[in-house]
Amino acid sequence: MVQGTPEASAPLLWPTLRRVSDPPLIRPIQPSDEGVVGQIAYQTGFFGHSAARYFANERLFARLWVGPYFGGGGFACLVAESRGEVLGYILGSPDPALYGRALRRVLLRRTLAQVLPLRQTWASLPYLLRAGRYPSPHPDWKQFPAHLHINLLPAARGLGLGKRLLAAHLEALAGAGVGGVQLSTTTENRAALELYRQFDFVPLARGSTPLWTPWLGHPAEHVGLGLRLSRRPEDR
């Protein structure tokens, strides 16, 4: 899943989102948030637009990309909320082994129900096969064991919510003694790259990949960013 703002647009999941309060609340995720977080992940999963372009099965997408964080693999996961509506989230895990165990549980439990309808799952296979063939570059997991990703609804962008979510998440990781955190994005996502630069993330792995060519029309450059958590986020 990637974030960004390509020229192609997609219908919004919340076209009549109520006016965002000032400031929205940043709070820990609850089990009851899994459904709406999965919807936001799907609606923003293609460079900030709907993942429907490359992944037709929305339930399976949410199960794979969100389920592990709600199934024991997440840590310090947060949502931004305004007047009872979730506007965005940050999900992360402090350890690849912990996340891997949660992902396996997700795959083994109740995933068959998400595979149906088969027609949508079949239409999603080209992406899954390409993702296995063209994996994203990553920094060293031993030095940067935690990972994270952020998604915001279009109506919630430009309000500083990404910065608030990221600062709170990094503070929790540092407080737990996690030594480093990483993420993967692409150069298509300029706004996110600027956000991460403000928090001193640095590029540690990169490479051009044809993974997204069928949907973007050209290869994308993946960037693996890393941050050592030796300083408190609030000091930046």
pLDDT at 5 over 60: no
At 118 the pLDDT is: 79
pTM of the model: 0.86
* pLDDT tens per residue, range 199-236: 999 999 999 999 999 999 999 999 999 999 975 555 55
When the pLDDT of each residue in the chain is averaged and rounded to a whole number, the result is 88
Computed on alpha carbons and rounded to an integer, the radius of gyration of the chain in Å comes to 17
* pLDDT tens per residue, range 40-64: 999 999 999 999 999 999 999 999 9
Q: What is the percent of the chain with per-residue pLDDT over 90, rounded to a whole number?
A: 78
Residue 21: phi and psi, rounded to 5, are -75, 165
Q: Which domains does the chain have, with CATH numbers?
A: 25-235 (3.40.630.30)
Mean per-residue pLDDT, 121-137: 93
At 6 the pLDDT is: 28
